[in-house]
Structure 1
Amino acid sequence: MRNFYVDIHCHPTLKPYGRSFGLANGGNSINHNHKNSIWYYDPPNLFSKFLNILIGLTPFSQTNFSSLVHGKVGLIFVSLYPMEKYLFKNRLKKVIADLISKLLTGVSQERVNFVQNVTDYYDDLKGEYEFLRQLDGQIVCIAGRKYRYIIAGSSSEVESLLNQEDSDIFTIVVLITFEGGHSFGCGIDPQVNKCDEVKVLQRVQDVKNWPHRPLYITFAHHFYNELCGHARSFNGIAGKICDQSYMLGAGISELGHKVLRELLDNRKGKRIVVDVKHMSPQSRREYFHLLETEYETENIPIVVSHGAVCGNERNKHLFYNDEINFYDDELVAIAKSRGLFGVQFDGRRIASKSEIDANSRRISRKENLYNCARLVWRQIEHIAEVLDGHGLFAWDVQCIGSDYDGVVDPIKGYWTAEEFRYMEAHLLMHVYNYAADGMRSLKNEFNKTRPEEIVNRFMSLNAQEFIMRNY
């Protein structure tokens, strides 16, 4: 089997799909020099890095497939995302709002106009899915080498593709997910015009019958979607211009419970697992209760596709303690369900501001890579110590869930997926430091494992094993 990394939450289609609007040769271009190609290579230059450091904008591409292959990423969960119209219909006047929205998202004006006038998110979801499918399996030649991606529809297909030994072609294996229950066509105008419940439930069934059934979906997102309440997700510039207040922090609606039951129905072997990222704490509690009561015997995993921890009284000064992040009792629930926790590589989520500042101020690239890998290691370490304290295996839920190209502020040094190749070595340094005293922070001997296994699990193995169990 090839040596590669796995990212369970990224958005490689968001920018090229968003740039295909208004083009005469729209669609997913096989020419990797076109901006509407998923292979378009757009690494950050000094100016774009400076812009990111100064005001948090990420105008460069992070998970184009060229960056993925340079970063040894061989398996990704592509998160399709019908952009919510309230990203672009906000508190600012239209011209200014459009300009800032384009800068924040990296899409074209035609895409902004489309989203502002969208009447059904489901059509947009299908459009992005078809955009991805257009180059499925097609070979692209870049700098004399052959590459392709293949969308898989089952664990057996994933296993077969990963075990192929073809030195001539580098293959990225793709699984489908999507972000936000609004994708089913709800949440367009929830304060005035309620969605069509029958249509929403039918679309759940339609998605379960796609050629590439989503392994999971992120149930909530930035705004109220008529299914459940959301956690506040915007701060900085975006937080000032986007109004998330309607139903912020609410629980699961009656329609939301119906949609959940349809997603979790496994009578035809087509269950879609629920990702609880972006759900309000109240919604998360209600969902956990649903699993504990109605689905107690079904071993349904809880997924956090791109998250970070809140920390506890001992170490909360290290972390970003807010409701969009996750509490210790939730980490235990995820582990007991044999779920996954994707660590989000977002500087706004992964650590407290003081820790971000302390670990990002080094001029030396080598120091920067080491220090910012520490932020990721602390997430892995905290989860491990919480699970160990409850007598659970400490290392099998953590994985990469970068959220790159999802309007995130990347941890410095790891600007794009291309830098994942440096993450492994620098994480290993931190784990060896942790192991130097015999891992005395851990109570259970079965958790005192080799540093190489811990890092391999995070970079690749945990996500692979999850797929084999659940797809």
Structure 2
Amino acid sequence: MIDIPYFADLHCHPTMKPFRQVPQANIFDNIDTQGACQELNWLTRPAAKNIVKVSQTNIMKCQQGKLRLMFASIHAPERKFFDLKDWVEFMLEFSANDQTVKLGVCMTGFDRSVVEGYIDAHRKNKDQAIHYFDETQREYEYLVMQAKQNECIGIAGDYEELQRILSTPDSVAIIPTIEGMHSLAIFTNFEQQNLSFDQVNDTSDPYYQHFATQYQINIGRIKSWGGGNHAPFFITFTHYFWNLLCGHAKSVESFAMSQSFNLDKGFSALGKVAVQALLSRENGRRILVDTKHMSVASRRDFYDIWDHYKSQGDSFPIICSHAALTGKATLSDLEASYDKGHVLENEYFNTWSINLCDEDVRYIHQSGGLLGLMFHDERMPGGLAKQAIEKAKALPDAQERYDQMRNEYLRLWMVNALQAVRAINDVSAWDILCIGSDYDGILNGFDIYEDVACYPDLQLHLFQYLHNPLPCPFVEGLQTKEDIKKLYFGLTPEQIMEKVLYKNVDNFMMRYYNNYYLKQGKAVNLMA
């Protein structure tokens, strides 16, 4: 088996938990929430049963797993995530005092006082401002401080600096990114997050004008991070809830909270102004856009934006940083489906519209972008894949259980990769795929790859799979080893493994993470 010099991960959250400890923890520390989780009662314990409860991306684990290029996603948690429905909060507090707070601590790994502040934003302080941008700024400053205090980590400002950091053994290079454009906002009060689509789609509306100015100012501020060298490389444009800019896709099925407000909407006029400010080179370095969490309508609108830039001779790469595939052909097919759990029962893929169809993949490929594949036990498998995984987990013999779990998780991950290759039907499809774990992002991960220290295991398992593929009886065209090997298009297993584990990201950074691309180019006006 060939030696991989390092692994690259397009989307993870190494600062999210340590930054939100009191006092703040070191980025090397392991944050363990097992104690808080043990305080949950019979009503709240099931909600956090499968959430990973220890750090997945602290620097020590990165060094153990040779994860040396990580895109660190800075994220201000949405207060609506902690805004449970009234009857749910009543039941939690009726069952035992403080269960809402304890559940929040268990699921997030944040300090209790931080979680209490987030909950109070809707319980007690609805009339007070929500300073998402200030929190984002402080998390970036925390990252800078950690890099200064620890010689083995460095924030890379361009590809040349990235190579210098990687030239030092055991060093970890960090590329700043942001998840959720709400992270750049300041809301006067809690309810201001619920402005209607029409209010931010009408350029004469005072709210549109207020937030257009605010977003343009704060985009300018993040473009000045590190004297401009730490401007986020990309931003995941939306997240779990309406952010005034574009509609989001449903990501969780929960009776406790609602994502329904402006779910599945497209881009507002305010959103187009924000995209233009991100992509502009007149206010600092260009910041690329990550389509993860966008609704189908928003993705369609964004591809129209990409077409417009391309027609003006200023194409940019489209990123989807932590994704899964649906097996569906078109965006229209996704619009016609339902994002409900029962719909997945007879599906191998997770067909919810948050995941990608072949048409999405073709846009990413055509643009020269990247598609990061996540390790998510909920968002990647459909019902048939889940049944196979649960059956493996139930095996009594430990070694047999591990071997079968490995096979099912690997089959699932590779079927998603192969579906992307089928969408392009060309060897160049292998050039857009990479890891986008979403580790430390409050997720239910693959049990056998519980953190980044397991990446060498992933490498071994990919090596074994690519030499001896596991057919998938549920997916037409992937039902035999011969079907699968045809999709290698002449590449060796070693070449594919290198591409997916680090080389595609390295090539992407060499092409785009430089001042020639990020600072030079013509201005394009979306609002003309």
Instruction: Give the TM bin, normalised by the shorter chain.
Output: 0.7 to 0.9
TM alignment of 1:96-135, pairs within 5 A: 96-116=99-119, 117=121, 119-135=130-146
Over aligned residues, Cα RMSD in angstroms? 2.9
1:188-232 per-position Cα deviation (integer Å, ceiling 9, x unaligned): 533259563312211111111211111100000011000110001
Task: Give the Cα–Cα distance (whole angstroms) in 2 for the partners of residues 120 and 42 of structure 1.
Answer: 25
Task: Give the Cα–Cα distance (whole angstroms) in 1 for the partners of residues 4 and 422 of structure 2.
Answer: 31
Aligned-residue offset at 1:373: 2.0
AA aligned to 1:102 is: V
Work out whether residues 439 and 448 of structure 1, in 8 Å CA contact, stay in contact via their aligned partners in 2: no
SS at match of 2:57: coil
SS at match of 2:225: coil
SS at match of 2:147: coil
Task: Give the Cα–Cα distance (whole angstroms) in 1 for the partners of residues 406 and 296 of structure 2.
Answer: 33
Assess, with a 3 A threshold, how the Cα gap between structure 1 residues 413 and 286 changes in structure 2: closer, same or farther.
same
1:94-121 per-position Cα deviation (integer Å, ceiling 9, x unaligned): 7333222222111112111333436110
Aligned-residue offset at 1:441: 5.3
Give the aligned partner of residue 337 of structure 1: 367
AA aligned to 1:262 is: A
SS at match of 1:128: helix
Aligned pair count reads 439
Give the aligned partner of residue 198 of structure 1: 213
Aligned-residue offset at 1:469: 1.3
1:285-325 per-position Cα deviation (integer Å, ceiling 9, x unaligned): 00001110234322211100001000138x98321000110
SS at match of 1:83: coil
Aligned-residue offset at 1:15: 1.1
Aligned-residue offset at 1:79: 0.3
The one of 205, 224, 232 aligned to 2:242: 224
Identity %: 28
Aligned-residue offset at 1:460: 0.7
Give the aligned partner of residue 16 of structure 2: 14
AA aligned to 1:9 is: H
Aligned-residue offset at 1:268: 6.6
Task: Give the Cα–Cα distance (whole angstroms) in 1 for the partners of residues 481 and 252 of structure 2.
Answer: 41
AA aligned to 1:115 is: Y
AA aligned to 1:232 is: K
TM alignment of 1:163-174, pairs within 5 A: 164=167, 166-167=168-169, 170-174=170-174
AA aligned to 1:433 is: N
Task: Give the Cα–Cα distance (whole angstroms) in 1 for the partners of residues 224 and 31 of structure 2.
Answer: 35
Give the aligned partner of residue 379 of structure 2: 349
Give the aligned partner of residue 408 of structure 1: 443
The one of 348, 351, 354 aligned to 1:321: 351
TM alignment of 1:73-152, pairs within 5 A: 73-91=67-85, 92-93=88-89, 95-116=98-119, 117=121, 119-139=130-150, 148-152=152-156
Give the aligned partner of residue 447 of structure 1: 489
The one of 358, 368, 374 aligned to 2:411: 374
Give the aligned partner of residue 158 of structure 2: 154
Work out whether residues 137 and 148 of structure 1, in 8 Å CA contact, stay in contact via their aligned partners in 2: no
Larger Rg: 2
AA aligned to 1:403 is: D
Do structure 1's residue 460 and structure 2's residue 471 form an aligned pair?
Answer: no
The one of 323, 326, 347 aligned to 1:310: 326
The one of 438, 445, 452 aligned to 1:417: 452
Work out whether residues 393 and 447 of structure 1, in 8 Å CA contact, stay in contact via their aligned partners in 2: no
Work out whether residues 231 and 279 of structure 1, in 8 Å CA contact, stay in contact via their aligned partners in 2: yes
Aligned-residue offset at 1:57: 2.2
Give the aligned partner of residue 263 of structure 1: 278
Structure 2 residue runs of 5 or longer lacking an equivalent are: 39-44, 122-128, 197-206, 330-343, 472-479, 514-528
Assess, with a 3 A threshold, how the Cα gap between structure 1 residues 441 and 70 changes in structure 2: closer, same or farther.
closer
Assess, with a 3 A threshold, how the Cα gap between structure 1 residues 344 and 435 changes in structure 2: closer, same or farther.
closer
The one of 3, 6, 12 aligned to 1:4: 6
Do structure 1's residue 469 and structure 2's residue 463 form an aligned pair?
Answer: no
Task: Give the Cα–Cα distance (whole angstroms) in 1 for the partners of residues 131 and 54 of structure 2.
Answer: 29
Assess, with a 3 A threshold, how the Cα gap between structure 1 residues 432 and 48 changes in structure 2: closer, same or farther.
farther
Name the structure where helix makes up a greater proportion of residues.
2
Work out whether residues 304 and 342 of structure 1, in 8 Å CA contact, stay in contact via their aligned partners in 2: yes
Per the normalisation by structure 1, the TM-score is 0.86
Task: Give the Cα–Cα distance (whole angstroms) in 1 for the partners of residues 269 and 282 of structure 2.
Answer: 22
Structure 1 residue runs of 5 or longer lacking an equivalent are: 21-25, 28-35, 140-146
SS at match of 2:434: strand
Work out whether residues 369 and 423 of structure 1, in 8 Å CA contact, stay in contact via their aligned partners in 2: no
The one of 260, 263, 267 aligned to 1:245: 260
SS at match of 1:150: strand
Once the two structures are overlaid, the 10-residue window that deviates more, 281-290 or 103-112, is 103-112
Task: Give the Cα–Cα distance (whole angstroms) in 2 for the partners of residues 99 and 112 of structure 1.
Answer: 9
Assess, with a 3 A threshold, how the Cα gap between structure 1 residues 121 and 426 changes in structure 2: closer, same or farther.
same
Do structure 1's residue 176 and structure 2's residue 176 form an aligned pair?
Answer: yes
Aligned-residue offset at 1:53: 11
Task: Give the Cα–Cα distance (whole angstroms) in 2 for the partners of residues 327 and 159 of structure 1.
Answer: 34
TM alignment of 1:45-84, pairs within 5 A: 55-84=49-78
Do structure 1's residue 40 and structure 2's residue 40 form an aligned pair?
Answer: no
AA aligned to 1:173 is: A
Work out whether residues 395 and 447 of structure 1, in 8 Å CA contact, stay in contact via their aligned partners in 2: no
Task: Give the Cα–Cα distance (whole angstroms) in 1 for the partners of residues 186 and 427 of structure 2.
Answer: 39
SS at match of 2:431: coil
Task: Give the Cα–Cα distance (whole angstroms) in 2 for the partners of residues 44 and 311 of structure 1.
Answer: 36
Do structure 1's residue 397 and structure 2's residue 432 form an aligned pair?
Answer: yes
AA aligned to 1:333 is: Y
